[in-house]
Amino acid sequence: MMRIHNSLSGHKEPLETLEPGHVRMYVCGMTVYDFCHLGHARAMVVFDMVARYLRATGWRVTMVRNVTDIDDKIIKRAAETGTDPDSIARTYTDAMHEDTDALGLAPPDAEPRATAHIGEIIAMIERLVTGGYGYAPGNGDVYFAVSRFEAYGRLSGKRLADLRAGERVAVDEAKDDPLDFVLWKAAKPGEPAWDSPWGRGRPGWHIECSAMSTHCLGDTFDIHGGGMDLKFPHHENEIAQSEAATGHPFVRYWMHNGFVTIDDEKMAKSLGNFLTIRDVLAVHRAETVRYFILNSHYRSPLAYSGPQLDAAASALSRLYQALRGHAPAAPATDTDFETRFHAAMADDFNTPGAIAVLFDLAREINRLADAEPARAASLAGLMVELGDTIGLLQTDPAAFFQDDAGQGPDAADIEQAIVRRREAREQRDFAEADRIRDELAAAGVTLEDGPEGTTWRRSS
């Protein structure tokens, strides 16, 4: 039985979906005003892994990941660069897709954009106003009355009295309560705007996700995912406005991935301490980044450093080294390795535990490689099969060791050097042959001589 830590209850709970065998999942996507950073990559990889593993184990999954393409940050970036918000949104949506493709992520089943769902957003706000949960003070804005929703704070564990401590309403503030949040913003000169019952304006950030998720998945769906930083106020506000508008429970299971930290601080654009996905992929292959992310439990903090990525590259190389030289074979079945791997994954997607099983498999493959090559090959097949369920070990091992991730001499130059070395050895010029080998080694290329000739791999 798959068990998931539900942020709403604070406990691990069996995954019991509304429709047996079908998981409906919504993941908060990007606000497209800049390049995605490694913190975004963590959320992307984590929920790609969740969907991938569930599908691999027989679940039907409908995954929705939105794009926030209208927001204060987008408008600010457009003003700073002398362009328009739509151009900013399109540019960075394209960049996001390039990043997700580079990371090898499966596309979501649906990717709604906020600007394509203005009608649904306005309709939801109208229901909130009619039901007494929303109010329009007459300045073109519309707010959600937090005090009207009795369950407010149940996700984050925050109490309204504590949130109000130290707060006060400014003299010119139109809100009835400092905790009320905006559903619709009146248009300012030069900003994108749409017609509404309250005048021209645009949606607030929180209402966008409520409208898009319920439009795609229904009033109630199974899993809502996102980063820990979204738990409050974004997800708390989503619950309040969604349940107030529909009268139904919003989400059954809330999943939140931990922060990526750098120098003990959360990686964030607002702090200026972030590395873009492009920065990282210029140095490390995508699978190394995925391994680095999955080798920590998704709910725990993930500390970034260059040495940590290097260690991930080395560890991944050890797994691939165990697969080298084994002809494709049918995966071994009914093994303790398989049982332990799936037990780890069923325990709230415990990927570090699952990866530990892959290393146990690698050690057993290495032990049997000479004595029982057929058994070693079948275990290698199992290792590849299990790795596939979380998006690892899907590259041909020979190609893995020859992929430079943008570093070192290219493959053609290496092959030419090997030819020159072979010719030198045939001419008994061993000093020249050794010089070529040492020159390649200095460039991070290891030569391996065998009965069938010389192969090469890049050093980890």
Judged by DSSP in three states, 457 sits in strand
Q: Is 448 annotated as a binding residue?
A: no
Q: Is 36 annotated as a binding residue?
A: no
Beta-carbon contacts of residue 119 (< 8 Å; ≥ 6 apart): none
Cα Rg, the chain, nearest whole Å: 26
Crossing angle of helices 306-323/286-294, nearest 10°? 100
Q: Is 22 annotated as a binding residue?
A: no
Q: Is the peptide bond before 233 cis (omega within 30 degrees of 0)?
A: yes
Place of tokens 């003003």: 79
Q: Is 150 annotated as a binding residue?
A: no
Tell me the C-alpha distance between 95 and 32, whole Å.
9
Determine the Cα angle at 104 with ends 101 and 110, to 5°: 65
Helix, strand, coil percentages in the chain from 3-state DSSP, rounded to 5: 50, 20, 35
How many Cβ atoms from other residues are within 10 Å of residue 270's Cβ? 8
Q: Which two tokens stand for residue 428?
A: 């008994």
Starting at the earlier edge strand, list the strands of the sheet with 251-257. Answer: 60-68, 22-31, 221-227, 251-257
Task: Say which DSSP state 271 is in.
Answer: G
Q: Is 28 annotated as a binding residue?
A: yes
Max CA separation in the chain (angstroms): 92
Report yes or no: 327 and 377 within 8 Å, Cβ to Cβ: yes
Detail the residues annotated as belonging to a binding site: 28, 209, 234, 238, 269
Detail the residues annotated as belonging to a binding site for ATP: 269
Detail the residues annotated as belonging to a binding site for Zn(2+): 28, 209, 234, 238
